[in-house]
Amino acid sequence: MHTESAPMLQMALELGLTEEEYGRACQLLGREPNATELGMFAVMWSEHCSYKNSLLLLRTLPRTGARVLTGNENAGLVELGDGYAIAFKIESHNHPSAVEPYQGAATGVGGILRDIFATGARPIAVLNSLRFGDLRHPRVRYLVREVVRGIGDYGNAFGVPTVGGEVYFMPCYTDNPLVNALAVGIVRTDRIVPAVARGVGNSVMLVGSRTGRDGIHGASLLASRTFGEDGTEMRPTVQVGDPFAEKLLWEALQEMIHAGVIAGMQDMGAAGICCSTAEMSARGRVGMRIDLDAVPLRFPDMSAYEILLSESQERMLVIVPRGMEPQAEAICRKWGVLISRIGEITDEAVLRYYRHGELVAELPPWTLVAGEGAPVYERQAQQPAYIEQLRAIVPEELPEPLAPEEAFWKLLGAPNIASKRWVYEQYDHQVQTNTVLLPGSADAAVLRLKELPGRGIALSVDGNSRYVYLNPYRGAMIAVAEAARNVACVGAEPVAVTNCLNFGDPYDPEIFWQFREAVYGMGDACRALGLPVTGGNVSFYNESPTAAIYPTPVIGMLGFLEDVTCAVGMGVRQEGDLLLLVGPQRAELGGSEYLWVVHGMVAGDAPTLELAEERALQRFLLEAARRRWIHSAHDCAEGGLAICLAEKAIASRGELGLDIALPWEPTAAVLFGEAQSRVVVSCAPEQLPELQALCRDLGLPCAEIGRVVARRFTIAGVLETSVAQLRQHYEEALPRALEQVARLG
């Protein structure tokens, strides 16, 4: 390296680039980048923007399908038929939420909503997947409260229902919580807007809020690095959201789309103007001339560097055909939304940015973007030593320190199982009046589609990190299978996947091995179940100085219902109905909630998963729901069969209960084991022959295990109680735990 390059090299290192990457940037430009260009390389080549350590593996996932229209731009699009499509995507906002939980979570929701309406779609729902540490820790209680409040405040103010999700608590998330947000929208296929810049001479226009200094280097210095002992120094990199401004932005953009004045559009998320101009230009193989003086600013003295890299929220970059600028401006004035022409598309594939009339950055767009100029790596992978050590433990052979009834009550009140009503009651889940099954009443959210009367969609998010920790390949397969099973339980056909992959430092060979195996497992499960992956997000560096989080791939699943009146909830509905366990009964306790709550262990192996059994089970659920042979369905997940049955009683209409007589000895593994590909359904007695015949045709075990009764809940030889007592214990456990922490704090 020449002596004159030393200051720029030092700056590159401070911005997160390596010496080799700095050399690559110089080689691509044929010269040394200036400070502004170097900042652009640093943010665009960060893990968050370039996927440099994950791209090769992500390319192994199945991407195509009969219904898939496009993916990996703003959001994936899946064809519904009759001229409509569903846009959906999940992303993380983990690091911002750890530093500033309210704004981190709120802007996570705002960002994923913009990804949806950047396609032209109308957002119709949000779900979330949350992970926190031990509730006895005072800061964890603070994070829970603020994250939930941030999600609720943004979604409620914008006017989109939060219809489902999951919340888990494990010590590994104490310093690094996970906040993953999924959004879904509906769009007419003739109004889908591409995230591509086309048309030489067309105007490049910035629509939305003024640009400030918030969020600068959020992608490279916050999302692409691990935390130190104190994360407060990173607070300036966290964006600040305004849901009311976003709502107006959405309305203005929708009217502009309908008026035909938008030819291309991209959300300004990570890396702001730098990212949106570079990615749109690279996709269109064009260039842009950008006048940064035309960008509406909060502070007039902002530098080109700050303007380009700011991640201020509620902004969109749009391409407006030449001559249509006055129409676009009139629409924005109507809605009180700022719009500014900041440049134009050029035929030379070079980005040129000007500030105060001077050229401040000049570079080809492809040099900045993932899969082209940005570096791509294949990291070293090594199986962690703990894997064999923990798998050597046979959980089924451990002594049972608690009587089955005592273990049942302890599990029912455990934070990972207990009712999350305290969380979801802070969200508006009925705005837009499309919600068919309310949170807590079904295995997946179900929404009716006003645009296609009678039809609906189902959505779920799922991922058990303990399984992935013990067996990354099989654990990720289970995440896909369970998310699809949840959708099938409500009577919807699973059709597509989006994913959020939360892991530690990819430069650690053991972490990268976890990631690699999980991606392979996810891909194999998706191929076996016929589920294309339409896009998603990778979040690395989720760790603190003490430890990394458990590997946590979260699967977002989309399903379609041809007849929304066939939707099936989890709660029993009719006294005298029969209870059937459909699927294989295996005695497996590895990675179970029982093992964690009763023994304080995460050990053994992830449960067995046979994908042929899973396919058969999902076919059973779809056929039984369509023929209206079942009145309820709930899969056996955390807590196993006994907890599944309790949740069915708690979710029942009125005071219906269950009288259960299991055909197996009620050991801990039978009661609380988390064997896969099992559901409990209820049906009228006269439907039993049809269901048994369907199971025989599909090669599925089907065991009659009980009957729906009034008010009481009984498992023969284990416990007898009332549904009222079950519900009280289940509903009060999480608020009680939070109150205890509050007193400690």
Instruction: Catalytic residue, from 48, 95, 599, 631: name it.
Output: 48
Q: At which residue do the structure tokens 């530690």 appear? A: 504
Cβ-proximal residues to 419 (8 Å cutoff; 6+ apart), any chain = 440, 650, 730, 731, 733, 734
Of 53, 185, 80, 182, the residue nearest 130 (C-alpha) = 182
Query: How would you classify residue 57: left for phi > 0, otherwise alpha for psi between -120 and 50, otherwise beta?
Result: alpha
* DSSP characters over 527-585: HHHT--EEEEEEE---B-SS-BPPPEEEEEEEEEES-GGG---SS--STT-EEEEES--
Would you call 631 a catalytic residue per the annotation? Answer: no
- Give the pair of three-digit tokens for residue 144: 């829970």
Would you call 93 a catalytic residue per the annotation? Answer: yes
* DSSP characters over 155-210: HHHHT--EEEEEEEE-GGGSSS-EEEEEEEEEEEGGG---S---STTPEEEEEESP
CA angle, 370 then 176 then 42, to 5°:
30
Please report how many Cα atoms fall inside a 13 Å half-sphere around the Cα of residue 64, on the Cβ side: 0
CA–CA distances in Å: residue 259 to residues 201, 252, 315, 330: 20, 11, 20, 11
Of 677, 444, 464, 474, the residue nearest 553 (C-alpha) = 464
Which three-class secondary structure string do you get for 46-97? CHHHHCCCCHHHHCCCCCCCCCEEECCCCCEEEEEECCEEEEEEEEECHHHH
Instruction: Catalytic residue, from 93, 217, 631, 634: name it.
Output: 93
Separation CA 96–CA 375 (nearest Å): 25
Q: Which amino acid is at 424?
A: Y
Separation CA 380–CA 372 (nearest Å): 22
The alpha-carbon radius of gyration of the chain (Å, integer) is 26
Q: At which residue do the structure tokens 């200036």 appear? A: 34
What 8-state DSSP symbol labels residue 705?
Answer: E
- Give the pair of three-digit tokens for residue 582: 């459909």
CA–CA distances in Å: residue 381 to residues 25, 53, 118, 384: 27, 12, 37, 9
What 8-state DSSP symbol labels residue 127?
Answer: E
In 3-state terms, what secondary structure has residue 456?
Answer: strand
Separation CA 736–CA 745 (nearest Å): 14
Specify whether the CB–CB gap between 147 and 422 falls below 8 A. Answer: no
Task: Report the catalytic residues.
Answer: 48, 93
